[in-house]
Amino acid sequence: MAVVIGTRNSFELVDGAGVEDVALGVGLRPGPRVLRRFEVPDKDNRRPSTRPRPLAVRETAPEPAACDVRPQRHPAVQFLVYAATAAVFAALLSLLYLYVSGATTVPERTNVVHVQVGETLRDVAERSAPNSDPEAVAARIRELNNLPDSDVVPGQSLIAPDGTP
């Protein structure tokens, strides 16, 4: 057992026989006072006061497991993939623009139009709704007027979608 004894000027570590005789906390007046007792596991393997203390080194985290590295594609293949992705994106944007602008839809508002000399049903559809699909407008004109086919005569009045601004 070892005992730390505080004196007027410093602390002393006393170790060996006769230390048990000194009572803990009871001061010897005048003189040293016992501050703490503790067990010394191996007296011969203690670090001498002249040798510096070893640095306390924290253990670092274990190395992460190596991840599989994805093989690199050939630059030409990579370029083609990027180009195809850009083309698909551009096509989707243009379709979205057509949908929002109303070019793919048939106008809801209708108007009465008269067939001119030399006009077909498709010509009437292009004239009445210029920003829409002519085939869809022609189909809507046939539906509104109960026409069995696309035959029209000059001067005939038709109900047609009105797509003019």
Helix (H, G, I), strand (E, B) or coil at 142: helix
Report pLDDT for 123: 93
Q: Distance (Å, rounded) from C-alpha 140 to C-alpha 122?
A: 11
Per the CB < 8 A criterion, the answer to whether 4 and 13 are in contact is yes
Contacts of 151 (CB under 8 A, 6+ apart): 121
What pLDDT is recorded for position 62? 73
- The span from the CA of 139 to the CA of 121, in Å, is 9
pLDDT for residue 40 = 60
Report residues of the chain scoring pLDDT below 50. Answer: 17, 27-28
